């Protein structure tokens, strides 16, 4: 994973939705620590960004009203909202501290009632465009259902034909050094596929130019598997061949636990041709396999889709983002704090749909090793779950003292959420991002505790040096 070093200044969204990054030095000043205060206040509902509303799921967690930090080795809860003014408390390293197990009894961790319609990660199947009742239902392969369609504008999108030992027919090589040996035929999602293996800078792509009608909407999809990678971007791209301008992309790249779907829907505008590219635009170090590339005029009934998704397992309905984040954080904490036997059982049951980082974290043994790098495990897993609801996130790394948390985009601005403690930072009823916290000063803000589940004590003596230093590195962004 590649990242850019930034100092207390997060990436901003430009008018076209892209993100720009810049570095700003912030001089940290220390002020005398104030007297500790515990302020009770009523929760003020806000009408921020809401993901597309979905059917309510069985086992849905209630929106947490408030919580107090854990004491000793068990979790404590309160029924009133609380915000804590920042003062120094006990220092405990990020990878150690309070322990204890949480049992996964009947909860949102169980799969919801079978009568509840599934929620799909990919674009949903259009219920108004169902095939004839006599038509056979498409079968799922590796949890992916591909619509039966004879319309595909891509030539050799299943990579069955190889006129060249390495390069599939119908595709051209767009590789920084022209190295054809990085592409090889291999077993794929259904039958044959193409495998990319490379460790080099620059672009590493297979490309195909496709004729389109102007001012039409099209969808391109493919099935892929990233076996190993430390590149942050790679996947599916649609490009204007006349200008080289990227029209659309689905390139959030990280190792996958099985086969996944990439999808790009775009309007052709004035163009009569587009170029479909698969691979890596800016550096690759790893192995990826691509299969089932399809392009068609945008008809939702033709979309590839997942038969089941992990979002079905979670059972938490779409809702305002600021309410969704702590619910998903509680889900992650409770799951990862469970005894090893329960975590492994969960991992085995849902292996086909679990996201990559959460899948790996479930394998941690019991004892102190289960709590090692807890901030990283919970932050990455939470980001994966938020991506399932369409919430953008980015990881924030601190070198000294070592720590990791995330920022999520609430529809208007970036907001810090620290999954390790289950907290946000607030000033004048406004939730803050990294740059705002450093600009105002950590001792001038309050800490909001909207979560119910936690493993560690709230350690402000550990957090103060992080914000006093004011230097952060931004890492993986999702979706």
The answer to the question of residue 121 being in a domain is: no
Q: Are residues 132 and 108 in the same domain?
A: no
CB 207 within 8 A of CB 236: no
- The reply to whether 143 and 68 lie within a common domain is no
Using the 3D structure, point to which of 306, 340, 371 is the last residue of a domain. 306
pLDDT at 230: 72
Residue 250 covered by a domain: yes
Looking at residue 251, its pLDDT comes to: 87
Single out the residue in 282, 306, 330 at which a domain terminates: 306
102 with 135, same domain? no
- Is the Cβ–Cβ distance between 304 and 147 less than 8 Å? yes
Shared domain check, 448 and 340: yes
**Is 393 in contact with 477 (CB distance < 8 Å)?**
yes
Last residue of a domain, one of 268, 284, 306: 306
> In angstroms, what CA-CA distances link 452 with 68, 72, 222, 436?
8, 16, 39, 26
Backbone φ and ψ for 347, nearest 5 degrees, come out as -60, -45
Determine the length of the chain.
479
Say if residue 271 is in the same domain as residue 409: no
Q: Looking at the structure, tell me whether residues 263 and 182 fall in a common domain.
A: yes
Residue 106 has a pLDDT of: 33
pLDDT of residue 156: 96
Half-sphere exposure of 240 (CA within 13 A, CB side): 13
Q: Residue ranges of the chain with pLDDT lower than 70?
A: 1-138, 148-149, 232, 253, 369-370
The answer to whether residue 218 is domain-embedded is: yes
Is the residue at 248 inside a domain? yes
- Residues 350 and 436 both lie in one domain: yes
Residue 120 lies in a domain: no
Q: Which domain holds residue 144?
A: 127-306
Phi/psi at 226 (nearest 5 deg)? -100, 110
Kindly report, residue by residue over 262-295, the tens digit of the pLDDT: 999 999 999 999 999 999 999 999 999 999 999 9
3-state secondary structure of 265: strand
The model's pLDDT over 77-133, given as tens digits with 9 standing for 90+, comes to 333 334 545 443 333 334 444 333 333 333 333 333 333 333 334 344 444 444 444
> What count of Cα atoms within 13 Å lies in the side-chain half-sphere of residue 157?
21
Q: Give residue-wise pLDDT tens across range 410-454.
A: 999 999 999 999 999 999 999 999 999 999 999 999 999 999 998
CB atoms closer than 10 angstroms to residue 11: 18
User: Cα separation of 18 and 245, whole Å?
Assistant: 14
């Amino acid at each position: 994973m590649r990242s850019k070093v930034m100092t207390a200044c997060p990436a901003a969204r430009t008018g076209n939705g892209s993100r720009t990054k810049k570095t700003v030095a912030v001089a940290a000043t220390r002020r005398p620590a104030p007297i500790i205060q515990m302020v009770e206040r009523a929760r003020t509902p806000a009408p921020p960004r809401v993901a597309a509303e979905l059917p309510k799921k069985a086992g849905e967690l209630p929106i947490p009203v408030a919580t107090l930090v854990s004491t000793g080795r068990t979790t404590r809860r309160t029924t009133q909202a609380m915000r804590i003014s920042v003062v120094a408390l006990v220092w405990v390293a990020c990878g150690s501290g309070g322990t204890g197990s949480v049992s996964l009894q009947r909860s949102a961790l169980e799969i919801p009632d079978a009568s509840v319609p599934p929620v799909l990660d990919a674009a949903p199947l259009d219920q108004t465009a169902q095939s004839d009742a006599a038509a056979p239902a498409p079968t799922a392969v590796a949890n992916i259902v591909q619509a039966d369609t004879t319309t595909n504008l891509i030539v050799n999108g299943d990579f069955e034909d190889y006129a060249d030992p390495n390069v599939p027919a119908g595709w051209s090589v767009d590789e920084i050094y022209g190295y054809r040996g990085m592409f090889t035929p291999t077993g794929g999602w259904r039958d044959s596929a193409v495998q990319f293996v490379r460790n080099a800078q620059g672009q590493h792509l297979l490309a195909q130019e496709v004729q389109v009608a102007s001012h039409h909407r099209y969808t391109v999809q493919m099935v892929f598997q990233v076996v190993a990678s430390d590149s942050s971007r790679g996947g599916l791209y649609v490009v204007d061949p006349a200008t080289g301008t990227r029209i659309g992309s689905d390139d959030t790249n990280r190792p996958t636990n099985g086969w996944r779907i990439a999808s790009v829907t775009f309007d052709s505008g004035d163009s009569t041709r587009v170029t479909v590219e698969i691979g890596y635009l800016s550096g690759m170090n790893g192995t990826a396999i691509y299969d089932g590339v399809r392009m068609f005029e945008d008809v939702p009934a033709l979309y590839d889709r997942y038969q089941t998704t992990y979002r079905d397992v979670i059972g938490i309905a779409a809702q305002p983002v600021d309410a969704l984040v702590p619910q998903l954080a509680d889900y992650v904490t409770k799951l990862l704090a469970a005894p090893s036997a329960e975590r492994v059982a969960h991992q085995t049951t849902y292996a086909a749909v679990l996201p990559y980082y959460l899948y790996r974290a479930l394998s941690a043994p019991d004892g102190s090793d289960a709590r090692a790098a807890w901030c990283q495990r919970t932050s990455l897993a939470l980001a994966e779950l938020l991506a399932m609801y369409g919430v953008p996130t980015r990881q924030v790394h601190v070198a000294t003292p070592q720590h990791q948390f995330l920022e999520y985009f609430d529809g208007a601005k970036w907001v810090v959420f620290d999954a390790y403690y289950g907290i946000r930072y607030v000033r004048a009823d406004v939730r803050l991002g990294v740059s705002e916290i450093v600009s105002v000063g950590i001792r001038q803000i309050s800490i909001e505790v909207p979560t119910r589940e936690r493993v560690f004590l709230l350690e402000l003596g550990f957090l103060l040096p992080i914000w006093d230093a004011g230097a952060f590195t931004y890492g993986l962004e999702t979706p």
